[in-house]
Amino acid sequence: MSDTRRFAGIDVGSLTAQAVLIEDGHTPMLKAIGVKFDARSIRVKSNPLDSARTVMGELLDERKLGWGDITYCVSTGYGRDRVEAEGLAQQNMSEISCHGVGAFSLAPQVRTIIDIGGQDAKVIRVDENGDLVNFVMNDKCAAGTGRFLEVMSRTLGISFEDLGPLAIEAHSRIELSSRCSIFAETEVLHYIQKGVNRADLASGITKSMADRVMALVRRVGMEKEVMMTGGVAKNVAVRSELEKMLNVRMIAPHIDPQLIGAYGAAVLARRTGEAS
């Protein structure tokens, strides 16, 4: 086992899983000013344990390390309990805590975090110390989540990654009347059969997503500055719509926004591991 202390975060979501490894001697702040960390992201496996083993295992193999080289690990995401119970992590923390800590560690001026993942959306407010002030999550409907965008992309016959760029190309917008993801899919299919421009449909889909997220923002209350985290933060059209609605320019994280949950978990692992 190496003398170097390493702190890990594992985030197992519904669509993807991420692992982050931070070495001691490197302050977990902006990458631009010298943070050193390693990360890996994969599509989830059939169960969260396989996802956790695979994503962290690939990262460790790349560094020529073993699980025993990890000083302390925190798991997060919907599979966090099982990952800890299996001994792959020493502690589990909620996505709210990890995304809040991760965003604040990257940009201490942040006060509002909008996290949109595969199965839920959350709006989190933190104070000047990075402590949680308030948060709200979406209901069980998938319409405000990455799953909704994935289904809509498939309905349009494009990849999830191409939805945002396609929506940006729109010259007009087809507003979706349905707020339910199932009915919205039927509505989109109807428009496709009528020969409606797909870019205009993509614009309507991303606007529908932004509307759902705005409802959460109103419930929790927004305070500038704002950062988006999670996989949907990489959708340029959703981010642009939210910036218009909020009348803000969001803080762009210096790392992949999909890694911020795992990054926050690694930061929390470091705090706990160094204190023990």
For the chain, domains (ranges, CATH) are 6-99+257-275 (3.30.420.40), 111-252 (3.30.420.40)
Per-residue pLDDT, 34: 47
Note the residue count of the chain: 276
Per-residue pLDDT, 141: 64
Q: Give me the amino acid identity at 124.
A: I
Q: How far is it, in rounded angstroms, from Cα 18 to Cα 255?
A: 13
Per-residue pLDDT, 32: 40
Q: How far is it, in rounded angstroms, from Cα 9 to Cα 22?
A: 9
CA proximity to 214, closest of 244, 236, 178: 244
Task: Identify the three-state secondary structure at position 123.
Answer: strand
Q: List helix spans (H) across 8-64.
A: 48-63
Per-residue pLDDT, 29: 46
Q: How far is it, in rounded angstroms, from Cα 216 to Cα 212?
A: 7
Per-residue pLDDT, 154: 93
Per-residue pLDDT, 206: 93
Low-confidence ranges of the chain (pLDDT < 50): 1, 27-34
* Structure letter (DSSP) for residue 171: S
Q: How far is it, in rounded angstroms, from Cα 153 to Cα 125?
A: 30
Tokens of 163: 């939805």
Q: How far is it, in rounded angstroms, from Cα 219 to Cα 175?
A: 24
Per-residue pLDDT, 28: 46
Per-residue pLDDT, 143: 64
Q: List helix spans (H) across the chain.
A: 48-63, 80-85, 95-106, 146-156, 160-168, 181-193, 198-220, 236-246, 260-275
Residues paired with 91 in a beta bridge: 74
Q: Are 264 and 9 in contact (CB under 8 A)?
A: yes
Q: How far is it, in rounded angstroms, from Cα 143 to Cα 126?
A: 26
In this structure, the number of other CB atoms found within 10 A of the CB of residue 275 comes to: 7
Q: How far is it, in rounded angstroms, from Cα 175 to Cα 57?
A: 44
Q: Are 22 and 264 in contact (CB under 8 A)?
A: no
pTM exceeds 0.75, yes or no: yes
Per-residue pLDDT, 181: 74
Per-residue pLDDT, 4: 82
**For the stretch 54-63, what's the b/e string if a residue is b when 16 or more beta carbons lie within 10 angstroms of its beta carbon?**
bbbeebbeee
Per-residue pLDDT, 30: 41
Per-residue pLDDT, 177: 81
Q: How far is it, in rounded angstroms, from Cα 84 to Cα 12?
A: 12
